[in-house]
Amino acid sequence: MIDIDPWSNALADYGRLFSQFGMQEIDSAITSKLRGKHRLFERNIVFAHRDFDKFVDAAKNGRKVAVMSGIKPSNEFHLGSKLTADELIYYQKEFGAKVFYAIADIEAYADNGISFEESRKVAVSNVADLLALGLDEKNACIYRQSKEMRVMNLAYIFSKKVTYNMLRAIYGERDISLYMSVLTQAGDILMPQLEFGIDYTVVPVGVDQDPHIRLTRDIAAKLGITLPAATYHRFMKSLSGTEKMSK
Compute the half-sphere exposure of residue 221: CA atoms within 13 Å on the CB side of its CA.
8
Give the Cα separation of 236 and 233 in Å (integer): 9
| CATH, residue 161 | 3.40.50.620
Read off the pLDDT of each residue in 4-28 and give the average, rounded to a whole number: 68
Average pLDDT of the segment spanning 145-172: 95
Q: Is residue 7 part of a domain?
A: no
User: Can you count the helices (H) and strands (E) in the chain?
Assistant: 11, 7
Tell me the mean pLDDT in the region 87-104.
97
Cβ within 8 Å of residue 131, ≥6 positions away: 137
Is residue 128, in this structure, part of any structural domain at all? yes
Residue 21's pLDDT is 72
Cα distance between the two ends of the chain: 26
**How much is the average pLDDT of 188-217?**
96
The reply to whether 107 falls in a domain is yes
Instruction: Rank 26-35, 69-78, 122-131 by mean pLDDT and report only the highest.
Output: 122-131
pLDDT at 2: 45
Task: Give dist(CA 201, CA 187) in Å, integer.
Answer: 13
Is there a contact between 216 and 228 (Cβ–Cβ < 8 Å)?
Answer: yes
Domain membership of residue 201 as a residue range = 14-233
Q: Report the domain count for the chain.
A: 1
Q: Residue 241 falls within a domain, yes or no? A: no
CA 146 to chain CA centroid, Å, is 17
Report yes or no on 2 lying in a domain. Answer: no
Q: Which carries the bigger pLDDT value, residue 244 or residue 172?
A: 172
**Would 242 be classed as within a structural domain?**
no
**Predicted local distance difference test score (pLDDT) of residue 22:** 79
Q: Taking a C-beta distance cutoff of 8 angstroms, is the pair 49, 55 a contact?
A: no
> Would residue 247 count as lying in a domain?
no
> Between residues 16 and 92, which one has the greater pLDDT?
92
Nearest to 6 by CA among 191, 167, 190, 218: 167
Distance (Å, whole) CA 141 – CA 15: 36
Structural domain contains residue 174: yes
